[in-house]
Amino acid sequence: MGLDPELLSILACPDTHHSPLTVDEAASELLCTTCDRAFPVRDGIPVLLLDEARHRGASSSA
């Protein structure tokens, strides 16, 4: 994804708990460690909008 490690160290979930985010390189997403949301990274830019995030547990029907 090519995100700056310094940027990753300050990014947090925009929900009220502000938990740190981890990287899922394969899916090009940032994952919240608390609410299990996955935020997309598009063209190297994290999209930290709650409306754009998906709940990983609810969408695992493959």
Domain ranges of the chain: 5-55
pTM: 0.85
**Contacts with 40 (C-beta within 8 Å, 6 or more apart), sequence order:** 28, 29, 46, 47, 52, 53
CA dist., res. 38 & res. 30, Å (int): 6
Q: Please give the pLDDT value at position 58.
A: 57
Q: What is the per-residue pLDDT across 14-30, written as a single tens digit (0 to 9) for each?
A: 999 999 999 999 999 99
Among the CATH numbers 3.30.2320.50, 2.20.25.10, 2.60.120.20, 3.30.1120.130, which is that of 5-55?
Answer: 2.20.25.10
Q: Please give the pLDDT value at position 2.
A: 82
Pairing of strands 45-46, 54-55: unpaired
Residue at 28: amino acid letter:
S
Q: Please give the pLDDT value at position 60.
A: 46
Q: Please give the pLDDT value at position 61.
A: 45
Sign of the dihedral through C-alpha 53, 59, 60, 61: negative
Looking at per-residue pLDDT, the higher value among 13 and 2 belongs to 13
